[in-house]
Amino acid sequence: VKNDYKKDNSFSNRGMNFEDDIQTSNEFYRSQGLAVIHKKPTPLQIVNVHYPKRSAAVVTEAYFQKPSTTDFNGVYKGMYIDFEAKETKNKTSFPLKNFHAHQIEHMKAVLEQAGISFVLVHFRVHEEIYLVPGTFIVSWYESKENHRKSIPKIEIEENGFPVKTGYHPRIDYLASIDKWINGK
């Protein structure tokens, strides 16, 4: 099964990136009362803050911290939704070096709590997006033979769910969740 992210005309040449498109889709979902899903802010370690008179506080020294979780989470029809967005320029596989160990640990913890965990994988060259269940990513990551390698694209196609793109929402991953969870 294939899909066509950015191949259709309404979508091309927008100059937006994958995460922005997901955020725009989340805003659409929220505005329609379909789901409440947000991107977590980038965590910063704040070292110095300046408090000028008559104007807003300014952070004058801060450092980027590694996120200890995934990019997005929220709620859809009572279900806890938790996912990571990943892109690759690779044509034939999705390299697992895209993941930090703590992200995998987070996915496992979410799965243990019966949350809906997945990765949205964007193959840039093909302009295709797949929803790949967290269980599949975790088991591939933890198998000794596959560790630190890549998941062949054909495996992603067989174990994942294609994500349709369009104008609103740009990246319709809720439809893919429905197919995955409810088989429709």
Binding footprint of a second copy on the chain (CB under 8 A) = 30, 33, 35-36, 38, 40-44, 46, 56-64, 68-69, 73-82, 106, 109-110, 112-115
Task: List the Cα angle 85/175/115 in 5-degree steps.
Answer: 60
Q: How far is the CB of 56 from a second copy (least distance, A)?
A: 6
Q: How far is the CB of 66 from a second copy (least distance, A)?
A: 11
Nearest alpha-carbon partner for 121 in 183, 48, 51, 171: 171
Q: Site residues (CB under 5 A) for Mg ion? A: 71, 85
Q: How far is the CB of 109 from a second copy (least distance, A)?
A: 5
Question: 101-112 and 134-142 helices cross at what angle (nearest 10)?
Answer: 130
Q: How far is the CB of 59 from a second copy (least distance, A)?
A: 4
Nearer to Mg ion by Cβ, of 29 and 72: the residue is 72
Residue type, 96: L
Q: Which two tokens stand for residue 182?
A: 């409810």
- Beta-bridge mates of residue 46: 62
Nearer to Mg ion by Cβ, of 71 and 82: the residue is 71
Q: Which two tokens stand for residue 154?
A: 């054909």
Burial of 79 (0-12, 13-18, 19+ CB in 10 A): middle
Nearer to a second copy by Cβ, of 76 and 94: the residue is 76
Nearer to Mg ion by Cβ, of 89 and 144: the residue is 89
Backbone φ and ψ for 64, nearest 5 degrees, come out as: -70, 135
| Residue 76 binds which entry of Mg ion, a second copy, none, CB below 5-8 Å type-dependent | a second copy
| Residue 136 binds which entry of a second copy, Mg ion, none, CB below 5-8 Å type-dependent | none
| Residue 71 binds which entry of Mg ion, a second copy, none, CB below 5-8 Å type-dependent | Mg ion
Instruction: Judge whether 121 and 155 are in contact, CB under 8 Å.
Output: no
| Per-residue DSSP letter, 99 | S
Nearer to a second copy by Cβ, of 64 and 167: the residue is 64
Q: How far is the CB of 18 from Mg ion (least distance, A)?
A: 9
Q: Which residue do the tokens 């799965």 mark? A: 111
| Residue 114 binds which entry of a second copy, Mg ion, none, CB below 5-8 Å type-dependent | a second copy
